[in-house]
A and B are shown apart, each in its own frame.
Chain A
């Protein structure tokens, strides 16, 4: 029996997700099974050529073979391989991070199902199905996002619903635009002289992606999700789910070249991106809650990616890919730090509740700071290399834009510094003077992630070559 690649990938991920849902008692088993299956799927996509078939017992799998369901085509194209690898390997890393943070959580089965749905969205050819699959992935993410966290002493916190509710609302508001775009494109195929259809499709597609990516003025869900949600799941949503949305945007720019050919494309992306960076920077600088800093740092990062695309150059596209690759490292570190701080504050991450927390939980504080510095795009981190490249690219055409972009990043840094002042102050009794012994595995994870961040900061070419290669596969800026 021969299975096509899409059926195998989605089927395996969904099957394991189903099995893990009944094995929630065994956290280690769930975490490592999730790691194994995402690793295997990622390796399959990376290593097996699309035109070859491989055998697994009685099954033959043909990765490049399309799967047709009621006339709709699902296929792994060459350009899909890197996005698929990105979501699989990022999910793998986050399952390891979550192993010690989320005992008995439904994050593992839900995470696998989300990866399956997002992989389906990347592989399916029509916009409408991709939009519906992303919507499903977003809704599935809400279950682990608001799962109450149980502390080692049995205390429970979390479970506030606002973040997930806002996220679900914005994702649903984005859905009509994407689905109607499909109708307009079908109409345009029949009436190719009606350019009004294309203009309407451009506006709808732009608005929908703005909502899905949290562009200003639709940014409120980013900070609310980061404040109310479980930190590892927030990181999953901001890297795997948002990463997929970015790759879908690139895929549509590639498939519908008239989108990037619009006269306003560059200026629109640049203005939206700079607005996101400035607003995110200003808001991050004035935050007193650690979770909100994570949200606004992500807003600034998304803005930087928009600005990079707005340069209308292949180098800008490569910078977008580098920023996307850097995000899992920095956000995973911030997650580990934020989780520790929330535990210290009994679920509250307001800095006034965490005065002197750095002396009680030094490693968690270090993780939050290093992750935050990387997210803000300051040295030494992969994020810095990408942002530096962006400033240089912007300076060639407009120095003022480069200064604005730098200002946005500096805002995140200011938020981190003012937070750090409070965390490093003398302990006034809000947090316990001595923390119960830190989990050694969490310590190892923190050290490994800090090491990886520094190494990639010193040798960014390890990632940038891959990003450039990916950027060259997209031809919409070359036309």
Chain B
């Protein structure tokens, strides 16, 4: 086996648990800070960690993990452009850092979600995937549900929730069936979700 692939495999095994929690922390930043610049950076970091987890799924094909990161960053770029347009169109949304309006509630919900995901990963191990990948899938799903339930008017937040759910599904499904066709179709779905979210962010304020 290629020495780089062997090194990558041992590296990804070592960092996958921190990466799972890194995904969650990045998601938490998106959830509690209502400023598009910070959210953009957090999403970029989240996709980096998701890519690290994919090196465990595609252990002999690291190029697939790199593709996942690249696609994620492309989506981040599209969301960034739309968020800039939106912030210019809406008055009072250009502050650098702004906490979410109901911060204590969000922190509480986030903490509860974390505990639930952690306990679920300990008690009900997901089939077909290792424990750290299972934890990442559960944390991403919890984040997705939190984003779906947000009261914010910004479609970008719900869009990020959809992307997180797709990432959880992607990790879970690819671990069992790492076929090129499913991976390719999931990449297209991710890109389309990113584009549609960007479009909705813009079209809502353009009318």
Contact = CB atoms under 8 A, between A and B. Distances in A.
B155 interface: yes
**Closest 6 A-B residue pairs measured CB to CB?**
A159-B207, A161-B200, A139-B192, A132-B185, A161-B204, A161-B155
B169 A176 contact: yes
Contacts of A147: 203
B85 interface: no
Among A136, A158, A168, A180, the most chain B Cβ lie within 10 Å of the Cβ of A168
A172 B165 contact: yes
A143 B196 contact: yes
A148 B165 CA distance: 29
B76 interface: no
Nearest to A149: B207
Contacts, number: 85
A69 B184 CA distance: 13
B interface, size bucket: 20 to 34
A40 interface: no
Interface in B135-157: 148, 155
Nearest to B188: A136
A156 B207 CA distance: 6
Contacts of B196: 139, 142-143, 164, 168
A183 B128 contact: yes
B176 interface: yes
Interface in B165-207: 165-166, 168-169, 172-173, 176-177, 179-182, 185-186, 188-189, 192-193, 196, 199-201, 203-204, 206-207
Contacts of A168: 162, 193, 196
Nearest to A143: B199
B207 A128 contact: no
B192 A70 contact: no
A168 to B, nearest CB: 6
Given A146-B199, A161-B200, A69 B173 contact: no
B158 interface: yes
B177 A183 contact: yes
A392 interface: no
Given A168-B162, A175-B169, A139 B180 contact: no
Nearest to B177: A183
A122 B116 CA distance: 39
A252 interface: no
B191 to A, nearest CB: 9
B189 A135 contact: yes
